[in-house]
A and B are shown apart, each in its own frame.
Chain A
């Protein structure tokens, strides 16, 4: 990693009386000393062909600039033009009449100049001038706007964010062409200087939440932010919870819809993952596709997702309750077949289930980490050896394989609840193994208590499930996704005066 001059180093230089001078050579040697040992730092000196008195020097960092722009729009005009110094400042004259760059800034601040250099701008020094010109020449290769692999859908917009903040912001602005869509720049990381942008629609987003967000962002004190998750964990209401209280998405359509719901988004340079907040529990079951498909189908799918969440958490625990404590819960025929299966298995049911769940987690993790061309081996080992052969060798009973499979498959339906699913599945398994069905119910109650205690930027996490409201508008997007024409109001957390649906307002 390149060690660019840090803020402290620049401060030291400035404190030591190091300032820019009118002597070009002195400025060059100053920058050379600052960017010592940085191979990509380029210094190019040249002069005007008509009048050799005009000596120039440009600095830039190779790879972050567009060489063609520098050649054609900076060096060429500076070398070939007839420069006639008049009453105005030379630098102003160059900027106004010679250089063909869209964004030019005059600066004498070493810190600003070094920062711009690190962003990919080109710095122009002229003999006899104290200040420098910062010329916008940023350019780097970008990943194309492919559909994010973690959030694929069947129908609907297929664009995804990429690693460039500006591109991502343009994707949002293209969807919400409203002057009220505000984008505030921030910078995080004492070394990475990562640019971040807070987006919200003024008038829909709650100013209190925005204020709270600003307050929390002030507390961010970290040397580097590589991904939005760094920020996410810092600004969460409660850190020790498996639940997500700040949302993430890689899709501009999702973020745009959330903005219109009155949420706030944060995008950062270098990560395609945007943060949305506040994030409520019901959002875990909502998919962007719900809004692009027939509402009946979407509602059914949502029901399946909610069911899956419960299944993936309770199945192992419930199985242990049934075979370990409350055998009379099982229908007689099933009981016989369970008993037949279990009678020759060496381990107690709970340990068996626990081990098999761990094995499943191992297979899953292996599937993510291994090189993709080794996938064949995994599926053979996973499916055949552990599934079938273990049953035939009477290491495990067949029902527990079914339990683990059901757990695993339902787990895949709710990617946003992966962490709570893992934590609470093992928790319920453990408490059921020790206390049976009674423990199971106690465990479920504790989970509910935990859920009720959560807040996302001050909004109760279970909104609107936790309230005894009879207003249909509060439940239009919870269990069912009602048709668009029936979505009359924004979700409850948007500021109240704007809850009435606006004409042409998107997702309300």
Chain B
């Protein structure tokens, strides 16, 4: 009979505990308040340029215009708002004097920086980003190759409604498809910028003409020294860089197998793994890069027998040689720039911070003199033939 008791389980003690807990819980969380969807001016993307006056920013916001609002079907199109201010945040808030609603950044997709901003003010912009609550961590920071950042907004988005979402999607889906655009979410850009031994690279975008339509296109990447943009590298170099950074999970390798000056073979990367070992033997930095890629054949040269193991083996070796040569080129370019975009120094810093303390001052020289050894192992897993 112990089990059966007709007792209401809420005693005074439990009620007290509940009230106390609720009071504490209610006061602990941060700020949050009700904001109806119609009170927001949604920002999809931001372009940052130098202002008309000295030391000011001109910020262009790509926001949403709702045609046929309400009802059962709606359409959206971009509309642009410009605002200037001496600081980034001031410019943002200043936009409110022209707007009925406050700008809302949680659904922002990209921040586009003009070349000049990237050369002079990158840290200030990232500083706003890291302080403000609304923007997501996963947005992208890109550099405009046009005369201004806002110029990119003149493009016509092809698959989405906004230039910003278009840029976001281009970057977001790149690793699986083409692997030639830096895919670095803003929080990681911020990390990289503040990590020792690695130079920041950010994706570059420009306008291209496609028929009579102006579109945005990824175009290599921008290389930073500290927080200053110094150089640009091409798309191909970016692709090679991504191989070293182990950020490739797709893309195409095209080679000239028959040596007739015309690329005749293409392979699709299915999976790729890169291991980088950085060693310092007292006066020289030695880097060993190990790339293992599984690929499927996309195109083969004529008379190529996909069932012949010798031929396949030869193709694998040829592709490996091609790839390591490509990557070597890029490393050479980086050495010329003196920018360790591959993060070799960072690798030392992570493995032996004490050693890094000694090396960090002469790292640029060490990087330029470093010996890099690349082994690429490509395995063709799939003939790709389906018909």
Q: Do A and B come from one complex?
A: yes
Interface string of A447-462 (1 = CB under 8 A from B): 0010001010111000
The A-B contact count (CB < 8 A) is 104
Asked if residues A238 and B8 are in contact (CB atoms below 8 Å), the reply is yes
**B22 proximity list for chain A (CB < 8 A):** 442
Complex: A339 Cα to B8 Cα, angstroms: 46
**B104 proximity list for chain A (CB < 8 A):** 327
Complex: A209 Cα to B5 Cα, angstroms: 11
Complex: A437 Cα to B32 Cα, angstroms: 9
Chain A, interface residues (CB within 8 Å), range: 35 or more
Asked if residues A391 and B71 are in contact (CB atoms below 8 Å), the reply is yes
**A294 proximity list for chain B (CB < 8 A):** none
Asked if residues A458 and B3 are in contact (CB atoms below 8 Å), the reply is yes
Q: Which of B3, B9, B76 contacts A340 (CB 8 A)?
A: B76
Interface string of A110-144 (1 = CB under 8 A from B): 00000000000000000000000000000000000
**B64 proximity list for chain A (CB < 8 A):** 336, 339
Complex: A234 Cα to B4 Cα, angstroms: 17
Asked if residues B3 and A208 are in contact (CB atoms below 8 Å), the reply is yes
Chain B, interface residues (CB within 8 Å), range: 35 or more
Q: Which of A238, A340, A438 contacts B32 (CB 8 A)?
A: A438
Q: How far is the CB of B19 from chain A (nearest CB, A)?
A: 12
- Within 119-165 of B, Cβ neighbours of A (below 8 Å) are at 134, 136, 161, 165
**A237 proximity list for chain B (CB < 8 A):** 6
Asked if residues A349 and B4 are in contact (CB atoms below 8 Å), the reply is no
Interface-facing stretch out of B33-41, B191-199, B273-281, B316-324:
B33-41
Q: Contacts A208-B4, A442-B25: A339 and B42 contacting too (C-beta < 8 A)? A: yes
Is A328 at the interface (CB under 8 A from chain B)?
yes
Asked if residues A453 and B136 are in contact (CB atoms below 8 Å), the reply is no
Complex: A391 Cα to B18 Cα, angstroms: 42
Complex: A345 Cα to B37 Cα, angstroms: 10
- Within 322-354 of A, Cβ neighbours of B (below 8 Å) are at 323-328, 332, 335-345, 348-349
Complex: A436 Cα to B4 Cα, angstroms: 40
Q: How far is the CB of A464 from chain B (nearest CB, A)?
A: 15
Asked if residues B71 and A392 are in contact (CB atoms below 8 Å), the reply is yes
Is A418 at the interface (CB under 8 A from chain B)?
no
Is A476 at the interface (CB under 8 A from chain B)?
no
Is A397 at the interface (CB under 8 A from chain B)?
yes
Interface string of A420-454 (1 = CB under 8 A from B): 00000000000001011110001000000100010
Is B99 at the interface (CB under 8 A from chain A)?
no
Asked if residues B35 and A325 are in contact (CB atoms below 8 Å), the reply is yes
Interface string of B1-19 (1 = CB under 8 A from A): 1011110111000000010
**A323 proximity list for chain B (CB < 8 A):** 36-37
Q: Which of B4, B36, B42 contacts A209 (CB 8 A)?
A: B4
Complex: A437 Cα to B71 Cα, angstroms: 28
Is A499 at the interface (CB under 8 A from chain B)?
no
Asked if residues B70 and A327 are in contact (CB atoms below 8 Å), the reply is no
Q: How far is the CB of B222 from chain A (nearest CB, A)?
A: 26
Is B304 at the interface (CB under 8 A from chain A)?
no
Asked if residues A339 and B70 are in contact (CB atoms below 8 Å), the reply is no
Q: Contacts A343-B70, A391-B72: A327 and B107 contacting too (C-beta < 8 A)? A: yes
A320 to chain B: closest residue by CB: B34
Complex: A212 Cα to B25 Cα, angstroms: 40
Asked if residues B36 and A324 are in contact (CB atoms below 8 Å), the reply is yes
Q: Which of B33, B72, B106, B107 contacts A398 (CB 8 A)?
A: B72
Interface string of A204-232 (1 = CB under 8 A from B): 00001101100000000000000000000
Is B114 at the interface (CB under 8 A from chain A)?
no
- Within 251-269 of A, Cβ neighbours of B (below 8 Å) are at none
Complex: A345 Cα to B39 Cα, angstroms: 11
Q: How far is the CB of A405 from chain B (nearest CB, A)?
A: 15
Asked if residues A342 and B4 are in contact (CB atoms below 8 Å), the reply is no
Asked if residues B165 and A332 are in contact (CB atoms below 8 Å), the reply is yes
A236 to chain B: closest residue by CB: B6
Is A173 at the interface (CB under 8 A from chain B)?
no
Is B261 at the interface (CB under 8 A from chain A)?
no
Residue with the greatest number of chain A CB neighbours at <10 A, chosen from B5, B32, B42, B68: B32
Asked if residues B136 and A436 are in contact (CB atoms below 8 Å), the reply is no
Q: Which of A208, A328, A433, A436 contacts B107 (CB 8 A)?
A: A328
Closest 4 CB pairs of A and B: A458-B4, A344-B70, A340-B74, A328-B106
**Other 7 A-B pairs with CB < 8 A, given A336-B64, A343-B69, A394-B71:** A212-B4, A328-B136, A332-B107, A433-B34, A449-B18, A455-B6, A458-B5
